Amino acid sequence: MNKSEIQQAQKQTAASLAACGIRLTPSELDQIEIADFGLGELELQGLELITYVNTDRYCAKELVLFPRQTCPEHLHPAVGEDPGKMETFRCRSGKVYLYVEGAAASTLQAHIPSGSEAYYTVFHEVELNPGEQYTIQPGTKHWFQAGDEGAIVSEFSSTSRDEYDIFTDPRIVRVPAVLEDE
């Protein structure tokens, strides 16, 4: 992604958060992370987030998903003596379709991104609406997608170590390079 694409996505993310009543400080606005996972298709497979705190004990974030945007399948593995990140997703606005290990749904509400079908392997569906939450245990494969209106999810978790996340799709780069505008 280039800088102007990132800046546009940051503005869209800030507007979505504000519309939900979530206000960010000027410093936080500058720290909105745009993750396209190196796939170059942010609107389809990507995630926008702001990390409020991430210490060796706990982490709190807001996750923003544009309409039908998908965060690809991944898991949070054990790191040393730590069993891996445990996270609770609480839906603040919109609708989120969360998929975890377990009995597969007979019909998926989400749309698996075209060309990436082989990299989505867990299909136990959990639908989250505003005020609903779900806790994902360490080492559990999961992925999630916003509904037609997009979604905002508050994440409360143990320490986040994104660099250790394991994605099912080998093409994914968790922190891709930012390109200069031409």
Dmax over CA atoms of the chain, in Å, equals 48
- Does 39 map to a domain? yes
Please give the residue range of the domain that contains residue 153. 3-167
Q: Can you give the length of the chain in residues? A: 182
In 3D, which of 135, 155, 153, 164 has the Cα closest to residue 75?
Answer: 164
- Does 101 map to a domain? yes
| Alpha-carbon span 116 to 42, nearest angstrom | 14
- Does 66 map to a domain? yes
State the pLDDT at residue 181.
Answer: 63
| Alpha-carbon span 109 to 77, nearest angstrom | 27
pLDDT per residue as tens, the chain (182 positions): 889 999 999 999 999 999 999 999 999 999 999 999 999 999 999 999 999 999 999 999 999 999 999 999 999 999 999 999 999 999 999 999 999 999 999 999 999 999 999 999 999 999 999 999 999 999 999 999 999 999 999 999 999 998 999 999 999 987 756 667 66
Q: What is the CATH number of the domain that holds 40?
A: 2.60.120.10
φ, ψ at 92 (rounded to 5°): -100, -40
| Alpha-carbon span 147 to 145, nearest angstrom | 7
- Does 163 map to a domain? yes
- Does 172 map to a domain? no
Domain count, the chain: 1
| Alpha-carbon span 78 to 82, nearest angstrom | 6
- 158-128-30 Cα angle (round to 5): 55
Q: In 3-state terms, what secondary structure has residue 19?
A: helix
State the pLDDT at residue 182.
Answer: 63
